[in-house]
């Protein structure tokens, strides 16, 4: 199958809508990362997502809808604070896990009784979702385990020949996936950290906790247990306060005739003068924006990416560290 990459305009959106209605898959930009979309009402189309990605069959998909879509068509809202979250953060990089009404097919939710719902803020994606006017279920548009794509070209690199169309909406402004928040309970629980931080949710709801994914706790978000985000080269992760060990490792790799790259926030770069660097940026938002891009750049250049941890795990750093541990830990 030929895979087209088309800039978003009326023609490409018409084609995308036709493909979705015909049960095909479409790569689409969002403000976080690119998604691989299918109609959430079409079980055969949804199965194609799992096949194209090699995604484990127990890892459910997020339903994406346009900003005027009434999500109570799809889910029950049982907690009043959910309306405040919707008002504050949607459209945007927040995914809400709610009790499903069963409209989105069971293949998309892997037989579960909840549905994850998101309204992307990316203008081109909104245009497509508005035109198709269906819940579009979509995981990130990469092969399973690989780093998530932040450009149409990266989607093409992973899925060329497997899908008919990628809508090109430029480089994603967010850079890491949405925050996944379980809002079926009295206190909202973060299942996956992201750009909408615990602190931001607390400022609206007053309380919020991280779900524990330890043994014994029912796994609410199956995705968290899988290998993820991994570049196709060796990796290592060093603590922010242990830069000497990272330098020691770098020298060791050089002595083995390997090409190491250190991936770090720009504000520690002066510690690594003269070394190969993948610089992530100065602020937490810049670092999130660049993270997957630098991992994908690194896998092409480096034998090993030596990643430096963030200085803390508050705010957006929580989501960045979650991705760094899975990609490089
Ligand atoms: P991806 O689309 O690859 O970014 O992965 C979507 C993430 O959302 C995964 O971590 C899933 O496990 C999680 N997710 C999707 N639907 C649900 C749901 N109904 N309940 C809990 N987590 C979900
Ligand atoms: Mg993914």
Give 218-257 as a 3 state SS string. Answer: CCCCHHHHCCCCECCCEEEEECCCCHHHHHHHHHHHHHCC
Look at residue 214 in the predicted model and tell me its pLDDT: 56
List pocket residues of ligand 1, CB cut-off 6 Å: 59-60, 62, 97, 109, 112, 114-116, 139-140, 177, 180, 191-192, 220-224
Question: Does residue 284 carry a pLDDT above 70?
Answer: yes
Instruction: Please report which confidence band the pLDDT of residue 215 belongs to, taking 50, 70 and 90 as the band edges.
Output: very low
Question: Does residue 219 carry a pLDDT above 60?
Answer: no
User: Which of 191, 217, 220 has most ligand 1 atoms within 8 Å of its beta carbon, as the pocket-test mutant?
Assistant: 191
Mean pLDDT over residues 115-136, rounded? 98
Distance 251 CA to ligand 2 centre (A): 33
Instruction: Please report which confidence band the pLDDT of residue 272 belongs to, taking 50, 70 and 90 as the band edges.
Output: very high
CA angle 191, 124, 296 (to 5 degrees): 60
Question: Does residue 158 carry a pLDDT above 50?
Answer: yes
User: Which of 113, 196, 223 has most ligand 1 atoms within 8 Å of its beta carbon, as the pocket-test mutant?
Assistant: 223
The predicted-structure confidence for 47-98, as pLDDT tens digits, reads as follows: 999 999 999 989 999 999 999 999 999 999 999 999 999 999 999 999 999 9
Backbone dihedral region for residue 23 (phi beyond 0: left; psi -120 to 50: alpha; all else: beta): left
Distance 184 CA to ligand 1 centre (A): 15
Distance 140 CA to ligand 2 centre (A): 4
Report the nearest-CA residue for atom 22 of ligand 1. 221
Q: Which atom of ligand 1 is nearest to the CA of 112?
A: 19
CA angle 136, 71, 189 (to 5 degrees): 95
**Which stretches within 41-192 are classed as H helix?**
43-53, 81-89, 123-132, 152-159
Q: Which atom of ligand 1 is nearest to the CA of 114?
A: 19
The predicted-structure confidence for 142-157, as pLDDT tens digits, reads as follows: 999 999 999 999 999 9
Report the nearest-CA residue for atom 7 of ligand 1. 223
Phi, psi torsion values for 81, nearest 5 degrees? -60, -20
* Residue ranges of domains in the chain, CATH in brackets: 4-210 (3.90.870.10), 234-328 (3.40.50.11030)
């Amino acid at each position: 199958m030929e895979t087209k990459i088309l800039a978003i305009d009326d023609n490409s959106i018409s084609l995308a809508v036709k493909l979705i209605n015909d049960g095909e898959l479409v790569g689409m930009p969002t403000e976080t990362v690119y998604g691989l979309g299918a109609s959430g009402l079409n079980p055969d189309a949804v199965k194609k997502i799992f096949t194209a990605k090699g995604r484990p069959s127990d890892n459910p998909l997020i339903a994406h809808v346009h900003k005027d879509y009434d999500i109570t068509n799809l889910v029950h809202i049982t907690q009043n604070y959910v309306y405040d979250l919707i008002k504050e953060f949607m459209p945007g990089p927040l995914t809400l896990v709610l009790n499903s009404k069963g409209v989105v097919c069971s293949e998309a939710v892997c037989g579960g009784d909840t549905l994850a719902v998101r309204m992307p803020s990316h203008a081109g994606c909104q245009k497509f979702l508005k035109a198709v006017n269906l819940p579009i279920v979509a995981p990130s548009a990469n092969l399973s385990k690989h780093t998530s794509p932040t450009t149409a070209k990266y989607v093409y690199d992973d899925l060329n020949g497997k899908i008919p169309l990628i809508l090109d909406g430029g480089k994603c402004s967010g850079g890491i996936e949405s925050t996944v928040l379980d809002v079926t309970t009295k206190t909202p629980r973060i299942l996956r950290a992201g750009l909408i931080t615990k602190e931001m949710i607390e400022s609206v709801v007053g309380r919020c906790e991280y779900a524990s994914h330890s043994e014994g706790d029912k796994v609410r978000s199956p995705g968290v247990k899988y290998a993820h985000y991994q570049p196709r080269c060796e990796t290592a992760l060093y603590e922010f306060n242990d830069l000497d060990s990272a330098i020691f490792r770098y020298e060791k790799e050089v002595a083995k005739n390997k090409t190491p790259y250190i991936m770090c926030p720009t504000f520690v770069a002066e510690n690594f003068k003269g070394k190969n660097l993948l610089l992530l940026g100065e602020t937490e938002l810049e670092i999130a924006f660049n993270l997957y891009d630098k991992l994908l750049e690194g896998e092409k250049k480096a034998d090993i990416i030596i990643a430096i941890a963030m200085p803390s795990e508050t705010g957006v750093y929580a989501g960045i560290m979650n991705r760094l541990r899975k990609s490089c830990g």
